[in-house]
Structure 1
Amino acid sequence: MRQRVRLRNSDPCSSHSPACPGRPVSPSVQRRLRARRLRLQNPDPPPPPRLGRPLPTMAGRPRPQPQQHSPSASTRRRERWLVVLGVALHAVYMLSIFDIYFKSPIVHGMAPVPPRLSAPPAKRLVLLVADGLRADKFYEPDGRGRYRAPFLRGVIQEKGRWGVSHARPPTESRPGHVSIIAGFYEDPSAVTKGWKANPVEFDSVFNQSRHTISFGSPDIVPIFCSSLPHSTWGTYPHEYEDFATGPLILQFIFFLGHVFFTLLEALIADASFLDHWSFDQFQGLLNRSFDDVKLRQLLLQDKLVIFLHLLGCDTNGHAHRPYSDIYLNNVKVVDQIAESVYNLMESYFKDNQTAYVFTADHGMSDKGSHGDGHPSNTDTPLVVWGAGVRSPKFLTYTEKPDDGFRFVDDHKHDTPTPQDWALEGFERVDVNQADSSSNVYTCGFAMPDEFCGELTYSLFEIKQGQTVAADEVEAVLANTKQILNQFLRKSVLNQIEDLISAKDYETALKHSEELRDGSCWSSLFPNI
């Protein structure tokens, strides 16, 4: 068999042999022949030696291994450098964000601007803050056409002024209360403390008061009153916020299973009792003053601030959403508490020298959350009445606003007033949230040192007479001076930093001493 195969393959004219010139060669055979000739002309190089094993030589000495130069080594090296450079640039970008935006805007050391009123119209200020209350849910009617806040609506129509207070992101409880009470927008560095503690101390309306009485949430009240010696304050336990329930059986279920309790709480919990707790504490304080002479004297002095933090709407909004019956019923509870506080104050003091402010720190989205800049989170109600506050102004048809686009900083409402609010005939005064602190103007307070808002004098009562007109001008001038002092101090600090960078230490030291002594304004700003 093998011999016949060999003779057949060796036959030059066999049908399978390509050497026969008379027969055509198939393309596949041609490809194989061409590949064979290429292999004979370019023999394969020997395989490279394995790393770590020296090649033996005749003399027994190891032959030096040739260095392996991969053709993509330079490419990989460039890729590594690009990755390192990209990480470094992104790190610089991230650090620049914190360096620019997460530095405290608070400037200390300004000379306080004293109040310039001849006779303050109010002796005390009552501040009611409904945490998480949306403006539309407060002003609009319910499904039956009845309004949820009848008392405060009557105040708008008969006694005071109304509008929308525009908050800024982050629309959280602490930043909102800082804007209302201190008059500036929250220190961004407070995010490192979870919006709970004060990374930098600041001045507030409570500091400028002669005495402050405050009741409410343990997350808000201690921010302003924990280190304030002239304050009387109280908070409920943190468990009230977590449970937001009254029955003890639910607390017992909590110990059996936290998950089951959370589901049950979401179904039947109503946190409006937190608002009642704040009012009950304040009412008990006034009742005790009839038997406590010192407490009564403390309440009868001027420059008194009463702050009630009402957390029910915020808690119910998170648990049940702002369109739920529990949340909407909490709006009625807040209105009832405002009416009870008003009646209690008027019957206790009987002097018509109390100013009232009702507002909210932020709103609530339809999903039961807050924090961003959506109008449902930034638009909050504002109702001001009492001593030193203007009466309602009724608008004629020609005086009604055109509801066109306006900037919020112009203190005009940037959105049209919905018709279902039925308040088109009453002048609407919109403010930025930091301007709310200017309501202490009626009590003759000095503005907080870090106050950056505008004096909303359109809310205050202006009578005919030269004295009242002069008081208005003096108040606006004091507000302007205070904002100017902050700008000048920041300018001086920047100049000193530039001198230090230029290594002009002698001049920087001189300006620092002048800034410390308060004599730098004339030398650094001769034209002012």
Structure 2
Amino acid sequence: MKLSSSVFASLCLFIELLGIALFLRGFFPIPVKSSLTSKGQLSDLPAEPLAGSSPNSSKVPLPLFKRVVIMLIDAFREDFIFGPNGKRFMPYTRHVVERGSSHSFIAKAKAPTVTMPRIKALTTGSIPGFIDVVMNLNSPALQEDNLIWQAKNTGKRIIFYGDDTWTRLFPKHFVEFDGTTSFFVSDYTEVDNNVTRHLDSTLKRDDWEVLILHYLGLDHIGHISGPHSSLIGPKLLEMDDIIKKIHASLISRESEGTLPNLLVLCGDHGMSETGSHGGSSEPEISTPLVLISPAFERKVGLEQPAVVEQVDLTPTLALALALPIPQNSVGRLIPAVFEETSLREQLRYLHINGHQLSSLLRDSNPNFHKGCIGASGSDT
């Protein structure tokens, strides 16, 4: 039996449309989002589960750190620190990783590995889609629940220097800022000097709790000549000197009886072997995450960095600063940050994170609760 040309053409058209629909469904997946428009509140935190004769508590966990400096180096590949050239190009940072009070991780970013979606992922804990690549050209203000809003809402004073994508996403959140454009990729010097020139005076001041620095020079070098360029080494040495300066300042300002400070060193994404980014190759998605604080035990040698998800930093920083976890966060706590607290406190942190994740799943999937009832025979 032969198909008529019209039937065959219709069948081909149907298959093409089905293929396009499947492609679009995969390329623009429906994100896991809460339908709630309000931001998370400290009053929303669940009470501790009843256990034995001990009374349950609904208190907000106390902050673990007084000040936090987040140093984000654009296109920062994990092998720039943990690889064979780490000791040569970032000697101070590598020493802190091997012998200092720190925790080191390889944080896996999700595609698209472009700056704006990655900033959204770091601050909201959610996973942006490929449509954000287009929005990267003109980033609108971020309305979704995020760490920056939560920190500002609880009275923390935030200062920002670096890529002006942050100032577009968070236009009224910083008490002081100086943004630099990321589109002049031939400039890998002044774009970082514009950030560093503020450091000496800012680190001496006491009128801030969160300092965010976003350095662009390494990314620009990658676009110009790739990750094995002769320009990479000097740029990494420059970043290493800045890390040393920040770390020394935070240590010098520690005082007995006060909370310790925290330095977060991270990247938004890596870079491919050609110096580009945006895809999901291993060099593009593997970024270093180094947490440095006297609150952590001193290391005795180089350990293989554990692998975490980039979005895991969001709930970790939120609870470490006594903030609500952003409602759309899909990240999990990084346990090492809380290992110096009591066992009860560690369980409390995990309980809050688990409650937030289950609330997100229940709110984003109407069939979730019904499925639980059907499987268990009860709604408990």
TM-score over 0.5 (shorter chain): yes
| SS of alignment partner, residue 383 of structure 1 | strand
Out of 120, 142, 156, which is 2:63 matched to? 120
The worse-fitting range, judged by mean Cα deviation, of 108-117 and 118-127 is 108-117
Bigger relative CO (Cα 8 Å, ≥ 6 apart): 2
The answer to whether structure 1 residue 273 and structure 2 residue 150 are counterparts is: no
Cα distance in 2 for residues equivalent to 1:360 and 1:238: 15
Out of 120, 128, 131, which is 1:186 matched to? 128
Partner of 2:50: none
The answer to whether structure 1 residue 236 and structure 2 residue 113 are counterparts is: no
Displacement of 1:235 in angstroms is 0.5
| SS of alignment partner, residue 453 of structure 1 | coil
Q: CA distance change for structure 1 residues 382 and 97 in 2, over 3 Å: closer, same or farther?
A: same
| SS of alignment partner, residue 365 of structure 2 | helix
Partner of 1:253: none
Q: CA distance change for structure 1 residues 357 and 323 in 2, over 3 Å: closer, same or farther?
A: same
The answer to whether structure 1 residue 486 and structure 2 residue 369 are counterparts is: no
Q: What runs of 5+ residues in structure 2 fail to find an aligned partner?
A: 47-58
Displacement of 1:205 in angstroms is 1.1
Partner of 2:162: 216
Partner of 1:90: 16
Give matches, 1:351-390, under 5 Å. Answer: 353-386=260-293, 388=295, 390=296
The answer to whether structure 1 residue 312 and structure 2 residue 258 are counterparts is: no
Q: Higher helix fraction: Structure 1 or Structure 2?
A: 1
| SS of alignment partner, residue 88 of structure 2 | coil
- Matched pairs, number: 349
The answer to whether the 8 A contact 2:158-2:173 is kept is no
The answer to whether the 8 A contact 1:322-1:328 is kept is no
Displacement of 1:353 in angstroms is 2.4
Displacement of 1:141 in angstroms is 4.3
The answer to whether structure 1 residue 132 and structure 2 residue 75 are counterparts is: yes
Q: CA distance change for structure 1 residues 153 and 450 in 2, over 3 Å: closer, same or farther?
A: same
Displacement of 1:97 in angstroms is 3.7
Partner of 2:245: 340
Cα distance in 2 for residues equivalent to 1:473 and 1:455: 11
Structure with higher Rg: it is 1
Q: CA distance change for structure 1 residues 80 and 191 in 2, over 3 Å: closer, same or farther?
A: farther
The answer to whether structure 1 residue 443 and structure 2 residue 321 are counterparts is: yes
Give the counterpart letter for 1:489 in structure 2: D
The answer to whether structure 1 residue 431 and structure 2 residue 338 are counterparts is: no
Give the counterpart letter for 2:226 in structure 1: R
Partner of 1:415: none
The worse-fitting range, judged by mean Cα deviation, of 316-325 and 206-215 is 206-215
Give the counterpart letter for 1:225 in structure 2: F
Partner of 1:225: 170
Partner of 2:4: 78
Q: CA distance change for structure 1 residues 495 and 196 in 2, over 3 Å: closer, same or farther?
A: farther
| SS of alignment partner, residue 325 of structure 1 | coil
The answer to whether the 8 A contact 1:363-1:380 is kept is yes
Aligned-residue sequence identity (percent) comes to 19
Q: CA distance change for structure 1 residues 188 and 170 in 2, over 3 Å: closer, same or farther?
A: closer
Displacement of 1:221 in angstroms is 1.2
The answer to whether the 8 A contact 2:115-2:136 is kept is no
Displacement of 1:243 in angstroms is 4.1
Q: CA distance change for structure 1 residues 97 and 427 in 2, over 3 Å: closer, same or farther?
A: closer
Q: CA distance change for structure 1 residues 83 and 281 in 2, over 3 Å: closer, same or farther?
A: farther
Displacement of 1:427 in angstroms is 5.8
Partner of 1:512: none
The answer to whether the 8 A contact 2:116-2:136 is kept is no
Displacement of 1:368 in angstroms is 1.3
Give the counterpart letter for 1:354 in structure 2: N
Q: CA distance change for structure 1 residues 215 and 526 in 2, over 3 Å: closer, same or farther?
A: farther
Out of 139, 148, 158, which is 1:206 matched to? 148
Partner of 2:54: none
Cα distance in 2 for residues equivalent to 1:135 and 1:126: 20
TM-score (norm 1): 0.59
Cα distance in 1 for residues equivalent to 2:330 and 2:174: 25
Partner of 1:471: 345
Displacement of 1:119 in angstroms is 2.9
Deviations 1:469-492 (A, max 9, x none): 221111100000000001111233
Out of 27, 32, 35, which is 1:105 matched to? 32
Displacement of 1:392 in angstroms is 3.8
| SS of alignment partner, residue 484 of structure 1 | helix
Q: CA distance change for structure 1 residues 86 and 195 in 2, over 3 Å: closer, same or farther?
A: farther
Superposition RMSD in Å: 3.1
